[in-house]
Structure formats: structure tokens, C-alpha cells
Structure 1
């Protein structure tokens, strides 16, 4: 049986300057075998050549695409001239990179480093804090230049989508049309206008997909094949190094390679050694290059951040000692004894040091608060006393395993205390309150007594397992009267406790949460040449591991509710968006373009029905004919819907706070799959092009209408309440139309917006400096800027609660 082959051009290697738009881009060849037919796994030279840019006409098409994208994505970036949404965080991180101040964030550093580099090139000296949404940029902040990074990466994503569709078998017309739809997707436009991580992330994911598809049209093991495989690895590394969502891209690429290897296995022309070469080269390149980039990004991150910043408190003291201005003692007296003045550090949480201050519990016994505090402070200092000695000895007396002691707070003079009283916050039967108690002249009582129990398997071998040594000995403090252990967890006290970490005395609970060690120790009875202890300097790998543990832990703890959070099913339905910024009479609200969003998001349903029909036809005995168009459609649709699924499904398993912008990587793959549906329609109606152009024209017109209809929500331009209300298809699209005036936005200003600040109008009830900071809610978390959690933020005529300070 003769193989079905596409006709080959004798001039395939020499592409003409201008080609017909009807160039053949699909191919499916069945080769005859001894036992069975098998599909050929590589493409002919003609088809491979037709899937890349080579004609003048196509270059003109790409140029038009770039111009259209520039108009939509890179215009009016100066508006608004104040901080928008998570620019609070990522602009703030750029400032901290420039200042070299260490910070804690749940995202890898690459994209943030890029924003900092652009800011530095633009002359930013780190003298603007990006403190609050609505803060007006001073002239010396190159915020437009920093926003241009996002904008041009958004344009790059559009180009990658075009070339990806072309390299997977779509025609020039279909690729141009699909990429044009991507340009006017309102949600993607919004995230590409501001200093946010999403645009760089999607750009790197799009580059990963494109360079992988280029390997599929190259002859294996040629220079071009290796080049594109390496570029795929580079962009995969960039993706993972910008956000951990890149790990979903890594999973997609792994499964896509397995599918490709399965086809190679079915091609009888591919030998087993060749199959092993494919596996080895793909595995090594796509693992090694991303790993190198990822680790290097963290190396640069730590190299740049040389000063203690607000994030240093999250890290261990051993991590912190390498900062130029570290406040952690680099060495301290090793031997701990009676009369030692010590600081005790909790072994297992980020809470920090055992701390007290001259403030009382509001509840419980009403005695002096005992907390964990992450910063070095004089209120962290305690004096060790023996339980039965009223005056201190005039010689050094070591503290050994089993010694009964009291801890006297140096500043207030009260002693660490516990009793059978429930804590003010964790009102559990197995927890007792930990407090400080006493008054002038009071010598203490038995409820002040704690027994030192050295935990030998956590302490350094040798003397540290027998008597207290600073840093080297890990111990527990058992309350002599009740048997409970001094204990802490990550529960925070309310504002009356300054939101510091709760300390209790627990008779149950997780043992590691009752572990302590001494970081600083001063004892006047030790000789001048007494032994010193200090933290051992950490290697880069040790810091890398610790940093990732903290990032993972913080990310998993982002479970607080948020007024604009949404769940994955809401994303597919486009149920709601996020209010980014509001300053009457303007607003920016993140929302997708439904004409693009819904067909892409629900394509999996139509494709599932299509596969079910094929399966039933097969079971009923119908002959299933596979031509080159349906094969190309099925293969690439499966690949891209797999990308959509892998970038969406993991969020269904997460309990953390989620927002609609988490859906955009999945949406990108869904649009690529939609492009192949358009290609299938083109092949079905190839003799009736009028129908194809009518469908494309109708969809593009509807998409463009939806884009321009909600453009004021995308770029913060003028609008009216009537036009705003007309765009609200659903009540869950909760942007505030009362934020806009009636009639002409230029001539009919609402009464509550008659004040002008740098050309922007806002509530006249506010002072100018307050109005400049009028904003809506932060979204992404983790980013630890100071926000009064009880202070409402005014959005137009609404009052909504401000988000939690430690949101990610």
C-alpha cells in the first residue's frame, strides 16, 4: 500500500519572497509497515518551511499585529499617575532592591529584579515607598518606564501566540485573527499596563510554548533543534523564576514531551537508540537549564539585598548575621548560669524572641502580657534566677538539665508566670495562660518556677547536652506546679496585644512548638576569656533552602478572606473581577472580554462532546477517517487544553486566597486551543471562504465592541454612570458605577468629587493628601506593607474593610 504523502516542492528550501495565503501547513502521513501502518513523526521540509515566517506578506501581517498591540497595550501608561493595585508590592520591592533592604515575598525574584533594573536605568533612587494605592508618583519615579516593561512583554506575548499557532499548523489568517483577539482581551490588557508580575510571567510561559513547538518542526538533533530546545529551557526557567505558577508550565512541558515520545515510539522508522537520545537530551536540557536560571535568580536576589529590611524578621538569626547592618549578635558568652541576662528564641516559628512589656491582657488574669516578638528589643531580656535563692550568688553557677529556675523580666521586674487560667485568645482546656507577675519587693511564688529540660537530640553533642550553652543547647521549660510547657504557635494577639504572637503554657500540643534556645547571654561572673559561641555562617544553598521553606509556609498560610477573592469556577464563568484603583470619577477594574473569554474557557466542553461522538461512532462500527486537518486539530487541541487544565486544576485543590488574575496563564493556552478550532473551521469551509470571513469578522467585531465598551475600566479614562450601567451584564460584576458622573464626564461632575489633585478628581470631604491616597483593595498577598486593618478605604460612595496586612 502506497503511503499517503503530501506533495513535496522541489524548491522547499528556497522560499519565494511572496507566497499564497493558501500555503499548506498540515500533514499526516501513514507509512506502510510489515505488520501495520504507522504515522510518520517528522514533517516534510515543505510543511516545516510553511509553518515559519518567510514571506513579505506575512511580515506585513506581523507588523500590523505589532502596531495594533502597541496602540492597545502601550498607550496612555501615564494614567493614572498614582500607585495601582499590587504596584504597592512590586514597586515597593523594586525600591527595596535599589536600597538593598531584605524583604520577604512568596514569589521567586526574577520578574521583580527586572522591574528594579528598569527603575534603576530610569534613575529611580528608591526614594518613593509605593506605600498605598493612590499615592501620587513624584517626577523622579520612572513609573511609566517600569510599566512599559509589562506593556512590551504583553506585546511579546501576542507575537509568541502568533508564531506558536503558525508553528503548530495554523494558517497566517487564523494566527493573525486569534492573536488579534488576544490583543483586545481586557483582562490581559489591564495586567500588561502596570508594575505587576503577571505580564512577565505570561510572556515567559508563551515563550516556553513557542520554542517547544519550534522543536517539533525541526529535524531532530540539528543545530536549530538544539537551539530551540535550549531557548525553551531558558524561558521555562524564566517562568518558574518569576512565579511558582511556572511549575505548572513545567508539568505541561513534561507531559507534552511524553506525548511526543509516544508518537516517536509508534514511528517504526525511529530506532530505539534514537528514542533514548530524544529522552536524554530533552530531559537534561529541560531540567538543567531551568534549574540553573532559578538558582541564579536567588543568588542575585541575596547578593543585592545586603541590609536587614522588614523581611529579615522572618529568617533565622544564622541567616541574618551576614547582613551588613545585622543586629543579631555574632558571638555571645557560651556558658549560661544564674544571673545571666539572656534572650530566648523560639525554635520553630517566625515569632522570634520571648518578650514582655508593661501592658496587660484584656481577659484571662489581666496580668502582664508575654508574647513572641520578631525584632531585637530590650524587652526581650530576662534574668535567670534560682527558684529558692533570694539573692544572687557572687560566682558563676551553671544551669544544668533539670535545674529549677525563674525568669525575671529585666525591664519591668516581673517574673514569667503561669497558672490554671485559660489564655485570652486560645481558650483551650490544655492551654494555660503565660504572663508576668509581681511587684516591688515581691520575691516570687511557686507559679514562677520552671524546670529546664534539655532536648538532647536537638542540641549539639557534648557539654551542650548536659548544661545550658547559648545557641548550642535546645531546651523546654516545664512549669513546676502544673506540668505544662512554655509554648507558642502562630496565633496572633489582637490589637491590644500589638498583634504579636501568643505564648501559652501547654500540657498537650506539638512538641517542637515548646522548644527554645538562648541567643544572647551576658554573665558578669564569667572570666573575660570565657568561651564564646556564635552562629555558623550559612552557605548559599542553606540560605536557599531556608528561604524556600519560609516562602512555602507563608504561601500556605494565606487563607484569610478578601472582598475581591474568587474561586476557579468563578474564573471560568467570568463571574467577577478585581477593583484595582478608584479615584472619583475614574476607576480601574480587572475584567476579561467575555467574547474571547467564554469560548476559550468552555472549549473543553465542546471538545469533550466531539471526542464522545467519535468514541460512539467507533463502538458502533463506523470507519473513522483521519485526515491531516483533523489530526492537526486533535493533536494540538489536546496539547493546549492540557496546558489550560494543568494551569487551572491545581487551584481547585488550594485553600489559600485566590484571585481572577491567577487564571490568565490557563486562559492563554485556552486561546491557543481556540485558534486551532478556527483553523478547523477554515479547513471545513475552505471552498466557502465567505462563511469563514463572516464568522471571523462577526467575532472580532463583537470582541472589539466589548473591549471599547469597558475600556474606561481598563485604562481609567472618563466615563458616565449611564454607560457604566449598560456594561453590567451581571450583578457580580461589582465595579461601582456610582463612581462616575451623569451625562458628560467632562461637564457633569458629581458633587462628591469636586476637588482636584494633579488633574484627578476625588471626594471633597477629604483633604488633598488623603484624597491622593484614596484607593480600593490590594489583591496579591505576602507583601507585608503596613495597613491599618480597621481603617476603611473609601471607594466612591462605598465603605469596605481594608485587606489584611499580610495578604499575598
Structure 2
């Protein structure tokens, strides 16, 4: 007999969304019929007035939770420093560098522009007050609306995967008041758009699964999945993991389709081609398109372009990259020499000495055009000799390089490198000499043209500007001029170290000539310019830089955390603090720990079932149990794919990097609630619903108890102290006042005082290669007369300094942070994107 499609659910009076498994009898073997029953759409799609009312109630509750007090704080919060600033740059067309794809940032810019934002506010620091001309409320309204819609998507997803209305409603309500998701959806951050796109992809794919294969509705759902995947990938690279999740589920489904003897193989092949086109090609096209728009929008050169090659920068308005450069390089040429493999820039020296080693003049890489990048090429045995005829540079020519401004020559000797002193294969490179000095053998460098890196032609035979790639080999030390992404200390202005290396990666020893002049060549001499890169070349280069910078965001940060701690909610992130109020990212511990516990329990359950099956006992005999296992495995696969890659990342990580995986965990937890009601307590469903209701009550209680950390509203010191279930929940309770009456008094006092600007400048925790770095711990409070206008993170030194360069103990920095202050990187302090 054919299995029943659905039955009346006991105690609910609604259709059962989980049909019995349809097993066909083939001539050789039984097989699973992969075509969903026609009744599945009806039982898993909201159509009744009662369910639509349920959805409306869910929408109203969620909207209230997410939109409440959205205009407060009326100052910059956490990484609004970055993403609000990027929106400003989009509006002004100023080029910038970010490690994330452009879509979400462009959407913020579009919303701001529609609301009247002209980009006149740069979001420079946490705590900086918004001027009246910045429509920050509308820019925050966008992620808040997306956060609200994400809750509805969770409800619809659960319904599509077989969860009944009451449990889908309860689970979605738990998600609606999950503290961390409420917090990240209230500010100009990438997380809310990303999660909305991921949730859209999950819902669309689950919707696709309930329609007959090849039907118009299934194709629309599959197309929607592809569009959502493209948007997720274009918001953050986390979308790649969602694409992988959908891809694995497609392979899973196709595997059963191949075994379905009732389905022609042609239909299975067509479905495979359709999935490839909709789920891979379309997301890729969307992703590339938004980068095309990104490049079209950002046309004005800025310091942020310093990450990119000179050829890339020539496409930006206002660039100062040399053009019409003399092609021929010879003895007597004054040149600027650019490193190829790193973003350090030009071979550079300045009239400052190393503080260790030879204590001779420093040689570094510097990313900006500067007179200190100019070098005079001399023949090694004829220094200080005026040129009377042009002599080109060939492979093997031995030269000296005289620094034009200081008149000292590029030099190496048997001294350890200034920073990489533990590496015996790297030696110090300096500038040495004095007026009239002809130099010595330690100034001699042999040119080695790399013919593999140089395009075929004349540039392989003699050095030509831009075209010839070469190495400089020290004739005595038998090492090559080398640079890598190691910074000198503060005394070296944190510029990139240059050494002479006898080992190391060969591409780190490659150089080329950019600027070039010669006293004997004139306007009629051959000239070369950078070839303008194509869109594809710009796309490839931008991704190389994004990947490189992202993996090197590895400096310590005050609020970073490790992936192994995330499932246990060991600590959160301080977002903002002012006027004895705090915004702190913390998950709802009831939901959070329940997800973690369920994952462990489900793993034990599957292990037990496998053992029972091996012993010949029957398992998975009930359709609801089968659906529970299938859907839970689907969602936990999504959890694993979005969580495990974090362990492979060497960069700094924060609690919010767990939220995409956590979303899948909540979906799986909802199915645990469903099977509890429909199977564990199938004869007493009232008990099951009572347990689910009690769980919801606990979740709401936690949300209400900790709402002050979400909305930045008044809280008392006593309540704060009692709320710290774990020591890692490091929000500063001493900042809160003793009673709510004290807040009213404070508000009254402030109403009669002039408004003072924020006293600290900041950079957020993520996205840019500008990170706060910790100093050694010191037990020290801020002295009463201690005036810190700026706290600055000094890269490379792992310390903080104030605006005058005085080093600050870690406890001083943390206390300023806890009181609403924040840290600004050297890069942001100088209003540049890189050093």
C-alpha cells in the first residue's frame, strides 16, 4: 500500500508536515523515491489565516526588539568606524582597501545617500558624536530590518524542513531575542546583511526540496538560492562556506536521485546541470558584478591605494605614479627601485641611524613617493665620476647605488639584521659613506636579470624601466637584496625591513626600476608607462591583497577570542561605553549552551544508533525520526562548515565570527524541540509543549536581564555584578552607577552642561589591517591628573602610547576602554590606510 502523505497531528488539528518515507520496489532492489509527495508543499507552506496571524505576531515582536531605541547611542559604535567610514568613501568616490567584498558596504552607502548623507562624516573614532547631517538612524535601520526579516526566514525555513507551527514559532521567538543577534543587527556592521543572505539561501534551498524536481516552482526556488548565495559571498567570504553547504547537499540529493529507479537518468543529468548553473555560475557572476561596480564607484586616489601596485593606482584620479618614464637605465641614472613581492614599496633611506648593529644609516621600504627613494647608479670601479656617454646595465654589471639626498651608498656587511637578527642568513643593509668617499667593496652589487619574471624582448638583455625584473647580489657577502613583511621598531618609523639574504623565497629578492632620469637622455629618448590593467587583472590583484592582508591580521587584540571558546560563550566583545552605560556583545546563554549541548547529545545518539544497527537492531523506523535525523544532519553540516575553518585561520578572531555557524545550530536545536514534542512525548504532547514553553521563558528572561548591554541603557552596579556567570564576561561593572535614581541625577546635571566632544580616538576590531596591540600587564590605574587625548596602538611594538608618545600600561588602556574610550591605530591617526 502506498504510504500516507500526511495525517492529522494529534493535539494541533493541523496537517503533519512529515510524510512517511516512500520506498519503491524495483526489479532487483528497493529504492527511495526522491520525488516529494504533492501534499508536502501544502503541509509545509503557511496558508491558513491562523498561521499568517502567527507570523504577524512574530514580526511585530521581532521588530520591537530590533528597532527599540535604535537612535541610541548617538555616537559611533565598534566597527562602525570602518563600515560607516567605507560608506562615506563610496559616496565621495574615494578609493579604500578592505578585506571584505563590497556588497554590504555599498548597500550602507546607498541607504545613507538616499537619506541625504553626503559623506561629510568619516566615522573616525568610537564614541564620536554624529552630526545632524549624518543619517545614522536610517543607516542602522537597514541592518535592523534585515535582522527582523532573518527571524521570519528562520520560521519559514523550519516550516519547509518539517517543523510544525508551534515549535517553529517558539524557536523563532528564541532567535528573535537572542542577545548577540539583536546587538549586531542594530549597528552599521556587516554581520546582519551577511546573516540575512545566508538565511535567504538556506530558506530557498529548503523550499526547493519540497517541490517536484524540474517544476517551475523548484526552479524559482533554486534560482533564489543562487541569488542569495551570490549576495552572501559578495558581503563576506563566509558565503563560500554556505556555497559549500549547498553543494554538499546537492551531491547528497543527486546520489539518491541516481538510485531512484523511477527517475530517468536524463532527468537527473538535467537537474545536475541546472544546479551547477544556478548555484555556482550565478553566484560567481553576481560576485564579479559587484566588484565591477566597486571599481566604478571608487575612482579617486587615496592613501588606501598604497596597498596596490603602481599599475593599479594609475587607474585612479589624482595619482602621482610616474608616467612617460625613460626606458633605458644606465650608469648615471637616478632611479627609484620598487620591490615586487610585498606592499612595502620603494627602496628608501633617510638620515637616521640604526639603534643596534653597525648604527649606520637606515635602509627600509617605504610605500609612498618621496625624494628619499632616489638612488644614483655608479659603475663599481668609477664612483664619483661624471658620465660622458650612455652605458646601459646588462646582466652581471656591478654597480654602486648612492643615496641622492644623504650621499651615502647602499652597503652590506657581516652584521645581523636589525629585526630578523635571529636569522643567520639575513645580514644588515645600511647606507655608509661621506662626502668625497669613493666607497669600498661592501658597496658593490651585481645585477642579475630574472628572465623568467621579465617579459621576452630587449628587457631580458639590458635593464629597462618597468619591464626588467632583477636581483641585486652583494659581491662579497654572496647574498641578495631582500625585503619581507617585517617592520622596524619605532626608531625605524615602523617601515619595512630590508636585509641581504643568502636564503629565503626568491620572489622576495625581485626588484624593478620605476622612476628614471639620466643627464644624457632627452625628450626624444624612448619612454615607457604602466599598462593600464584590465578589470580582470584588477580583480585578481585586489583578491591577492585581500587574502594577504586578511591572513596577516594576527596582532593580539584586547577582545579577541579563540574558536574553541565560542561554543561555551566564555567572553564577549566590548562595543561602546559612555555616560556609565555599555554596549557589549554577549550571546543568550540559554540558547547558546543548549545548541552546544544538543550537538554533543546528537553525536552520542548517532554513535549509539550506529552501534545498534551493527548489532542488528532496527533503527529509524518512524518517518518523524528519519526527518529529524536528515534535517539535523543538514543543519549541523552547515554548522561544521561555518565553524571548523576558523581553526585554520591564523588571523585575529572574535565572537561574532561564530554567529553564522550558530544560526545553523539554532535550526538544528529547533528540530530537537520538534522531535521532543512529536516523538518523545507523542502520547503527551502537552508535556512536550510545556517544556518548549519553559525553554522560551528562560530565553526571554535572560534577554530581559541583559538588555542593558544590548541597548546601552542604564544598569546598576549590583545587577551587573550578579549577572556575571563567567569570569570571561568582562564588561566593566564598576562603570555602572549604584541606582537608577543616580542616572536621573546625571541626566539632569548634563542637561545644564555644554556638550564636550569624545576624548579618545578609535579603530574597531575587524576588517582593517589596523589593530590594537596589548602592552605587558601592569597593575596601574589612571592617575587623577592623567590626560589622554588619544590612545594609539603602535604596530610592531605590541604596546600603546598616548598622543605624546608615552607608553601606557595595559590596565590604563583597559580602564579607558571600559569608560567609553577606545584605541586608534597609527594608520588612522595619520588619516591613512597604510604605513
Under a length normalisation based on structure 2, what TM-score does the superposition of the two structures give? 0.90
Alpha-carbon distance in structure 1 between the residues aligned to 2:84 and 2:738: 35
- Alignment CA distance shift 1:756-1:380 (3 Å): farther
Q: Which residue of structure 2 lines up, in the alignment, with residue 433 of structure 1? A: 428
Alpha-carbon distance in structure 2 between the residues aligned to 1:674 and 1:785: 36
Deviations along 1:375-431, one digit per CA (max 9) or x if unpaired, are: 111111111122232321233222222222221212222221222222221113222
Q: Which residue of structure 2 lines up, in the alignment, with residue 689 of structure 1? A: 685
Q: Following superposition of structure 1 onto structure 2, how do residues 33-182 of structure 1 map, counting pairs within 5 Å?
A: 33-182=26-175
Q: Which residue of structure 1 lines up, in the alignment, with residue 784 of structure 2? A: none
Contact 2:104 2:190 (8 Å CA) reproduced: yes
- Alignment CA distance shift 1:754-1:32 (3 Å): same
For structure 1, which segment, 517-526 or 424-433, has the greater mean C-alpha deviation from structure 2 after superposition? 424-433
Q: Which residue of structure 2 lines up, in the alignment, with residue 779 of structure 1? A: 765
| 1:746 aligned counterpart, secondary structure | helix
Q: Which residue of structure 1 lines up, in the alignment, with residue 786 of structure 2? A: none
Contact 1:562 1:803 (8 Å CA) reproduced: no
Alpha-carbon distance in structure 2 between the residues aligned to 1:629 and 1:480: 78
Q: Following superposition of structure 1 onto structure 2, how do residues 491-530 of structure 1 map, counting pairs within 5 Å?
A: 491-530=486-525
Q: Following superposition of structure 1 onto structure 2, how do residues 297-316 of structure 1 map, counting pairs within 5 Å?
A: 297-316=290-309
- Alignment CA distance shift 1:113-1:470 (3 Å): same
Q: Which residue of structure 1 lines up, in the alignment, with residue 729 of structure 2? A: 733
- Alignment CA distance shift 1:304-1:757 (3 Å): farther
Residue 795 in structure 1 maps to residue 817 in structure 2: yes
Residue 724 in structure 1 maps to residue 746 in structure 2: no
Contact 2:7 2:15 (8 Å CA) reproduced: no
Contact 2:442 2:474 (8 Å CA) reproduced: yes
Alpha-carbon distance in structure 2 between the residues aligned to 1:758 and 1:44: 70
Residue 177 of structure 2, aligned match among 178, 184, 194: 184
Q: Following superposition of structure 1 onto structure 2, how do residues 25-424 of structure 1 map, counting pairs within 5 Å?
A: 25-28=17-20, 29-389=22-382, 390-424=384-418
For structure 1, which segment, 665-674 or 624-633, has the greater mean C-alpha deviation from structure 2 after superposition? 624-633
Alpha-carbon distance in structure 2 between the residues aligned to 1:439 and 1:803: 37
Alpha-carbon distance in structure 2 between the residues aligned to 1:3 and 1:32: 11
Under a length normalisation based on structure 1, what TM-score does the superposition of the two structures give? 0.93
Unpaired runs of at least 5, structure 1: 10-18, 762-767
Residue 458 in structure 1 maps to residue 453 in structure 2: yes
Alpha-carbon distance in structure 2 between the residues aligned to 1:797 and 1:162: 39
- Alignment CA distance shift 1:87-1:470 (3 Å): same
Residue 23 of structure 1, aligned match among 3, 15, 20: 15
Give, in angstroms, the shift of residue 30 of structure 1.
Answer: 2.6
| 2:286 aligned counterpart, secondary structure | helix
Contact 2:329 2:463 (8 Å CA) reproduced: yes
| 2:193 aligned counterpart, secondary structure | helix
Give, in angstroms, the shift of residue 147 of structure 1.
Answer: 0.9
Residue 675 of structure 2, aligned match among 663, 675, 680: 680
- Alignment CA distance shift 1:721-1:209 (3 Å): same
Contact 1:24 1:47 (8 Å CA) reproduced: no
Q: Which residue of structure 2 lines up, in the alignment, with residue 15 of structure 1? A: none
Contact 1:354 1:372 (8 Å CA) reproduced: yes
Alpha-carbon distance in structure 2 between the residues aligned to 1:492 and 1:756: 46
Deviations along 1:98-125, one digit per CA (max 9) or x if unpaired, are: 1212211111111111111111111111
Q: Which residue of structure 1 lines up, in the alignment, with residue 782 of structure 2? A: none
Alpha-carbon distance in structure 2 between the residues aligned to 1:406 and 1:619: 77
Alignment coverage as a number of residue pairs: 788
Give, in angstroms, the shift of residue 539 of structure 1.
Answer: 0.8
Contact 1:583 1:774 (8 Å CA) reproduced: no
Deviations along 1:327-354, one digit per CA (max 9) or x if unpaired, are: 1112201001122111100011111001
Contact 2:578 2:819 (8 Å CA) reproduced: no
Unpaired runs of at least 5, structure 2: 773-791, 795-799, 802-807
Deviations along 1:625-650, one digit per CA (max 9) or x if unpaired, are: 52221121111111111111111111
Q: Which residue of structure 1 lines up, in the alignment, with residue 615 of structure 2? A: 620
Q: Which residue of structure 2 lines up, in the alignment, with residue 607 of structure 1? A: 602
| 1:560 aligned counterpart, secondary structure | coil
Deviations along 1:67-97, one digit per CA (max 9) or x if unpaired, are: 1111111121111111111111111111111
Contact 2:585 2:709 (8 Å CA) reproduced: yes
Contact 1:8 1:44 (8 Å CA) reproduced: no
Contact 1:106 1:782 (8 Å CA) reproduced: yes
| 1:299 aligned counterpart, secondary structure | helix
Contact 1:218 1:225 (8 Å CA) reproduced: yes
Alpha-carbon distance in structure 1 between the residues aligned to 2:475 and 2:259: 73
Q: Which residue of structure 2 lines up, in the alignment, with residue 769 of structure 1? A: 757
Alpha-carbon distance in structure 1 between the residues aligned to 2:821 and 2:67: 33
- Alignment CA distance shift 1:744-1:625 (3 Å): closer
Give, in angstroms, the shift of residue 802 of structure 1.
Answer: 6.8
Alpha-carbon distance in structure 1 between the residues aligned to 2:96 and 2:375: 29
Contact 2:560 2:653 (8 Å CA) reproduced: yes
Alpha-carbon distance in structure 2 between the residues aligned to 1:778 and 1:805: 13
| 2:385 aligned counterpart, secondary structure | coil
Q: Which residue of structure 1 lines up, in the alignment, with residue 637 of structure 2? A: 642
For structure 1, which segment, 237-246 or 795-804, has the greater mean C-alpha deviation from structure 2 after superposition? 795-804
For structure 1, which segment, 204-213 or 441-450, has the greater mean C-alpha deviation from structure 2 after superposition? 441-450
Alpha-carbon distance in structure 2 between the residues aligned to 1:443 and 1:618: 86
Residue 712 in structure 1 maps to residue 705 in structure 2: no
Alpha-carbon distance in structure 2 between the residues aligned to 1:569 and 1:626: 36
CA RMSD in angstroms, aligned pairs only: 2.4
| 1:407 aligned counterpart, secondary structure | strand
Deviations along 1:683-711, one digit per CA (max 9) or x if unpaired, are: 12344332123112211111011001111
Alpha-carbon distance in structure 2 between the residues aligned to 1:606 and 1:92: 44
Give, in angstroms, the shift of residue 785 of structure 1.
Answer: 8.5
Deviations along 1:177-197, one digit per CA (max 9) or x if unpaired, are: 111000010011111011111
- Alignment CA distance shift 1:32-1:344 (3 Å): same
Contact 2:771 2:793 (8 Å CA) reproduced: no
Alpha-carbon distance in structure 2 between the residues aligned to 1:128 and 1:679: 49
Contact 1:372 1:502 (8 Å CA) reproduced: yes
| 1:139 aligned counterpart, secondary structure | coil
| 1:128 aligned counterpart, secondary structure | coil
Contact 1:8 1:46 (8 Å CA) reproduced: no
For structure 1, which segment, 687-696 or 316-325, has the greater mean C-alpha deviation from structure 2 after superposition? 687-696
Alpha-carbon distance in structure 2 between the residues aligned to 1:736 and 1:701: 27
Alpha-carbon distance in structure 2 between the residues aligned to 1:720 and 1:219: 57
Deviations along 1:20-49, one digit per CA (max 9) or x if unpaired, are: 752221112233333443333223222311
Contact 2:765 2:771 (8 Å CA) reproduced: no
Give, in angstroms, the shift of residue 7 of structure 1.
Answer: 5.7
Contact 2:80 2:764 (8 Å CA) reproduced: no
For structure 1, which segment, 731-740 or 421-430, has the greater mean C-alpha deviation from structure 2 after superposition? 421-430
